[in-house]
Structures are given as structure tokens and as C-alpha cells.
Amino acid sequence: MTTAFLFPGQGAQAVGMGADAYAGFAAARAVFDEADAALGMPLTRLILEGPAVELTRTENAQPAILCVSVALLRAAEERLGPAAPAPAFAAGHSVGEYAALVAAGALSLADGVRLARTRGELMQAACDETPSGMAALIGLTLEPALRACEGTGAQVANVNSAEQIVIGGPNAALEQAVANAKAAGARRAIPLDVAGAFHTEAMRPAQAGLERALSGAALARPSAPVVANTTALPIDEPEALREELAAQLCGCVHWSRSVEYMASAGVARFVEFGPGKTLAGLVKRIVPGASALAVPDLDAIGAL
């Protein structure tokens, strides 16, 4: 069965995530240990013990989610051995794209967690500079959501499924766009618990710093194409991957189109490695009938 590997983004973090993989598999412990060494900080202790208020800080949550996602993948590979599935594609939502690149061998784990940490620090600084936020619109499709943002300064940040659109922007702009969306028929507008408006122009102050960090990272051709957030098309050229990581900072995450592309290319099974089950749930809505399995713990590895 043709398989794609998926990796979640910020918001999936929880204290204790990955604990059973850490305890049960040497390959997973090696990921945690390497992440600690690369960052020069006890990321493992923060992941396993908290406190939650520190883990959820953007500069901590992003490398933590990457670390746990890759650790779960390595635990699955250790447990399943030759029976472990090989993906035809990899894709990650927002910072999950960095995990996808690590999983596909295009980016080292050390560079991945360092880039995720730097990205988080830069994004937090941009959030501090311009107070902003995000809201998930339920029951509104893309075109009305785009119109709701017109003239407000808010933008569509994530297209997660046909009727789950996330918008973001400076606080006043977001408030106006939400009001427009409700007037256009959105059933609900759910404020997201994030530091600011990721994947919008509110992150522009972070752009130059992230590009400098990316210029110093070694990128290789991935073992499987990575489906890009900004275009929903596969990339396997290192420089194109570097450009994608820079572009998605302020660019919309086209998750629904990414999943649709992989399904159209023959993918019948989607496996999400990382905390939570959000992406697997979205797959079931985007491609009814597709196999979608979340692997947030060891029990799920057995199912795989």
C-alpha cells in the first residue's frame, strides 16, 4: 500500500509526549539525546516533566514537537524492522515540515532542532512586536474566508480542510475579519491558543533572521519527495526545500491541497508520527475512505 508520512505542527505539544518511546526504544532515546546535545539544553526533561507553561513557549514547543515526532518514527522503525513502511511522500504542517525533512534524510536532526528553536525564537519576537492572533473558522469555505479578510489586514493562514480555514493577523484586524466571517455564514470562529499570527505578514520581522539560519544549514535530496506547505506540490531539490522553509514562515499552509495531491498520486495510507491525532483526523475529512493512522505512542506503533 502506497504510504505517506505526516508530521504535526505547534499546538500538539503536551508534557509527557513520547515518554513511552523514550523508555522503550534505544532509537527514540538517541533522538532525545541528540536534540539535547544540539541545543545545549535539557529539552528531554522539559518534554517529559514540563512545566507546561515553558513547553508551550514557541521557541520550546517547535523543537520539542520535532524531537518527539522523529523519536516516534525511529521507535516504529526499530520495532517493525524490515516490515516498516517506506513512504512515497512526506509532509508536515508548519514546523512539522522540518520533521518531514529530517525523516526523509534531507536535514540532520541536529540542524532540524536548531532551526526549529531559532524559528520559534524569531516568531516569538515578531509576536512581541505586533500583538496578533489566529482563529479557526468552522463551516466556511476558502473563497468566503478570503473575502472576509479583504481590507482588514488579516489573512488566511491555514487551509486545513474544505470547511476548516484558519485566519490570522494583528488583533484588531483579526477581530474585524472574524466578524465578517460570521456575517458570511461561519458557524463558529474559535480563537487559537498561539502566541501570534503564524503564516501571515505579522511574521515578516522574523524573515531575514530565518533566512540567515537556513543559509547555514546543510540540505540534501530527500529519500522521498516532501510536499510543500505553500504550493501543495512535491519538492526534492535541496535549494527548493530551503526556499520553501523560508516562504512558509509568512505563507499560507495549504494542508487540504497537500493531502489531495498525495491521494491523487496514489497514496492510500497516511501515517502521522507525533503527538496528537489532528492530521490523521483531517485526512479522513479531506479524503474519505483513505487509511489514516496516528502514531502518538507505542500502542499505535503496534497497530501500524
Known catalytic residues are 94, 199
Per-residue CA distances from 235 to 27, 38, 97, 229, 230 (Å) = 28, 27, 12, 10, 11
